[in-house]
Structure 1
Amino acid sequence: MGTAEECGRWIRKLGSTGDPKARLILFPHAGGSANSYFQFARGFGELDVRGVQYPGRQDRRHEPFRDTIEELADEIAELIGEWNDLPVVLMGNSMGALVAFEVAHRMEARGNAASALFACGRVAPTLRKDEGTHRKGNDAFLREMALLGGMGHELLQDEEMLDLILPPMRADYRLAETYCASPEKRLSVPVHVHIGKADPKVTEAEAAEWKLSTTGEFTLDTHDGGHFFFTDNGDRLTDSINRSVDDVLAVNP
């Protein structure tokens, strides 16, 4: 298990209660930070909510990017893999869903499995989806960002901010677009997939392929909205996570 300093660099507290009944760990999208989940975390009054801060951005901008999803997952799992004081639920959006999947796999291999994995806005791990976005020039890359709706128009026009945002975003896209899991890599924990109906990056059929990545329970829910549906329309996702925790506690009070 990592030191307190290492945990603090990687895992940020986003919300908590005096006596949490479970821990929710949130994995950001490409280019995202732990704080991208700040508003979403407010919907979990009875959970200890943590967000993962990948290297190469914000206060970690001087640290090198990692080369693969697996490398990221190795370091994160090393830090949280021995947490056993509370049930742990993992949730990732877009690239974060892939990192969360790999972390869940490592936790399970350690004998300290997560209680559930929530994967949002991403095709199944076995479906490599390399659209070459990370190799595009800045103008084409920014058009892609505008299509997804994760960045405001004003931000896309701010050259100083783009100098800070584009490098980690491009590095993360490279990780996601070059990743593909073996069909043999399966979890045994429940996997719950949530996508926006208007998401241009994942179809319902592609999301349904996540069912092959677990031998446990599988659910697929669609929501109004796009790639970041839960920022404006996340109540059903929040309810689903809270129900999942209640189900775990009902079996293991």
Structure 2
Amino acid sequence: MLDANHRRNRLAYQGLATLLEHAGLADHAHYLNWGYHSDCPDRDQACHRIADHEPNHSQARLVLEIIGKTPLDGKRIMDIGCGRGGALALLQRFYAPTQLIGIDISPSNIAYCRQQHQGRRLRFQLGDACRLPHPDNSVDVVLNMESSGAYSDLPAFFEQVQRILAPQGYFCFSDVIDQNSLPLLQEALTLCGLELQQHRSVRQEVLASRRRASPHLWRRLQQVLAELDNPSLHAELQQYLANPDSPLFAALEEGRADYIIQHWRKSTRRAQPIGPALQEALRQRGQRLEQVQQPRQTQPPTPRPATPAERGGSWLPLSHPAMQARPGHCQLFALPYAGGGASIYRDWTSASAHWSLHPLQLPGHENRLAEAAHVDMDKLVQQLAAVLQPYVQQPWALLGCSLGGKIAFELARHFSAQGTPPQHLIVLACPAPSVPVRQALSHLPPAQFAHAVAQLGGTPTDILQHTDMMQTVMPALRSDSQLAEHYCCASDCSIDAPITLFYAEDDHLVTPEQALQWRNHTRGRFSAQAVAGGHFFLRQQRPQLLACIDQLLSSPWTEEIAHA
């Protein structure tokens, strides 16, 4: 007998089929996923490319990104929650598996798949993801895209995946998920005897795909939904469609939800039972995702130029409250590395008459711990721009270390578009903004995340060894990691301002090749200087850096941008 959630999912898929039929899209909608669009090829991991002119190309790209480098030739592949079968048809086109099996709970989807997709190795079967009728160790690769949130018993599904996977088999998993549910999913999968091989957030890429969809398509689907005159179906499908005006889209934009891709592998470790508490927490996953889609109780105010008191307060805690520009005097605004605050520049003093330093304090850091740290670059830059707006009519410049360099670059782009670019952008120990983060950390459970932070260096030993202090700084470190992981600009993004790069040849986090790609991001002059030390050389090389900065900001070529 079907439970209520099971029946609801069947009706929803039947309603979706009806919607596509009435909209005239049934023969073309081979995929039921968010799609993928990237302006940063270095972030792409698919082994095959789809031409932009092909139908459903962004949805096909997402399938190939979810597969990534997983070996499929000669393998038995099962797509659980196969929808309209497009993923398996695509894999049959690009790979040579021995068998492709599609499982779906919806009779209408299975009927569509059998009619639309033909192939000797391709088979579609009606089935429940939580009660798979397949033998143990019978599948080499399990694919599950965007359907796990509809399952009535997620622990049972994970146990089924582990059971049917052959030894060392692969589980390619993707879905939209709230941040609190991610560690619960990972704990359950680990207990089931699977090992995490890779974690990626592709939130920005799926949002970009949704934004690029034709407005006519959204209007047509909404029109047909209204014509069907079925309020319950309308509410159910709004969640699936997730158009750019929807609450789910907004939750993804603001970082309250994420779109993740994970690769797991069946280990030789014995599976352990998923306890009642974890089972109950997993059952509430859908409720948590709905909660993050609710409008915030108090909306943040529209960004505005900061008042004089604010300029000397939260955002600029180390600056003189009466900061005033003088003729020929440059205001240098400095941004810290991930997890750091304005205090990293506390000892950076200059006796120069040409410039003064003003470290910026981001929400969630140091004296702003009570505030939520940003995980979305656009939102952060919008607020920072409001703080800096009063000062950009006079000579000004930006400096950023590591993650701070990328934030500074986006600020420079913002003000360049307004016609008030900085006179100079100075970056320290920072890969170019078009170089994506290769190792994602923000999703790790607390103990593993703390270990990873210790391996990176930069966090004082007395903090690492002090449990209470680590719990205090951990949210900022995790949020900054997420901010960095979700950011990557296109390789042709550039600014008019000169860029000066300082990098360490012994940096274990940023290679010289990654750093020197900054030359591609300015239409002005570019200079680079190697310094001694590792990634956090700004601590040891402060006198040398201050001398170089003094020369830069006193040099006539920093003023070229102001007279261009």
- Give the structure-1-normalised TM-score: 0.90
SS of the residue corresponding to residue 118 of structure 1 reads strand
Determine the structure 1 residue equivalent to 2:402. Answer: 94
**After TM superposition, which residue ranges in structure 1, 4 or more long, deviate above 6 angstroms?**
15-20, 249-253
Determine the structure 2 residue equivalent to 1:152. Answer: 460
Deviations 1:6-47 (A, max 9, x none): 4332123357899682111110111111111112x2245433
1:42 aligns to 2:388 (yes or no): no
**Aligned partner letter, 1:186:** S
Deviations 1:103-151 (A, max 9, x none): 1111111211101001111111011114112122333333333333312
Match of 2:487 among 162, 165, 179: 179
How big is the shift at 1:70? 2.1
Q: Which runs of 5+ in 2 are unaligned?
A: 1-304
Determine the structure 2 residue equivalent to 1:64. Answer: 372
Distance 1:18 1:82, change over 3 A: closer
Determine the structure 2 residue equivalent to 1:127. Answer: 435
> Percent sequence identity over matched residues?
25
Determine the structure 1 residue equivalent to 2:517. Answer: 209
Distance, in Å, in 1 between the alignment partners of 2:497 and 2:432 is 16
Distance, in Å, in 1 between the alignment partners of 2:497 and 2:535 is 25
Between 187-196 and 19-28, the greater mean CA deviation after superposition: 19-28
CA contact (8 A) 1:148 1:227 kept: no
Equivalence map 1:17-56=2 (5 Å): 21-39=329-347, 41-43=348-350, 45-46=352-353, 47-56=355-364
Determine the structure 2 residue equivalent to 1:12. Answer: 317
Determine the structure 1 residue equivalent to 2:505. Answer: 197
Distance, in Å, in 1 between the alignment partners of 2:442 and 2:346 is 27
Between 73-82 and 173-182, the greater mean CA deviation after superposition: 73-82
CA contact (8 A) 2:393 2:420 kept: no
Match of 1:76 among 368, 379, 384: 384
Determine the structure 1 residue equivalent to 2:306. Answer: 2
CA contact (8 A) 1:24 1:50 kept: yes
Match of 1:108 among 416, 421, 427: 416
CA contact (8 A) 1:129 1:177 kept: yes
Distance, in Å, in 2 between the alignment partners of 1:231 and 1:181 is 28
User: How many residue pairs get matched?
Assistant: 252
Distance, in Å, in 2 between the alignment partners of 1:190 and 1:198 is 25
Distance 1:44 1:89, change over 3 A: farther
Q: Bigger relative contact order, structure 1 or 2, given CA contacts below 8 A and separation 6+?
A: 1
Distance, in Å, in 2 between the alignment partners of 1:132 and 1:65 is 18
How big is the shift at 1:83? 1.1
Deviations 1:217-239 (A, max 9, x none): 11111111111102012333222
Between 164-173 and 79-88, the greater mean CA deviation after superposition: 79-88
**Aligned partner letter, 2:551:** R
Distance, in Å, in 1 between the alignment partners of 2:390 and 2:516 is 31
Deviations 1:183-232 (A, max 9, x none): 34210110111112221111111111111111111111111111110201
| C-alpha RMSD over aligned residues | 2.4
**Aligned partner letter, 1:91:** L
**Aligned partner letter, 1:9:** S
Match of 1:229 among 537, 540, 551: 537
Between 3-12 and 86-95, the greater mean CA deviation after superposition: 3-12
Between 28-37 and 42-51, the greater mean CA deviation after superposition: 42-51
CA contact (8 A) 2:338 2:403 kept: yes
CA contact (8 A) 1:44 1:238 kept: no
How big is the shift at 1:245? 1.0
Determine the structure 1 residue equivalent to 2:206. Answer: none
CA contact (8 A) 1:81 1:110 kept: no
The structure number with the bigger radius of gyration is 2
Q: Which runs of 5+ in 1 are unaligned?
A: none
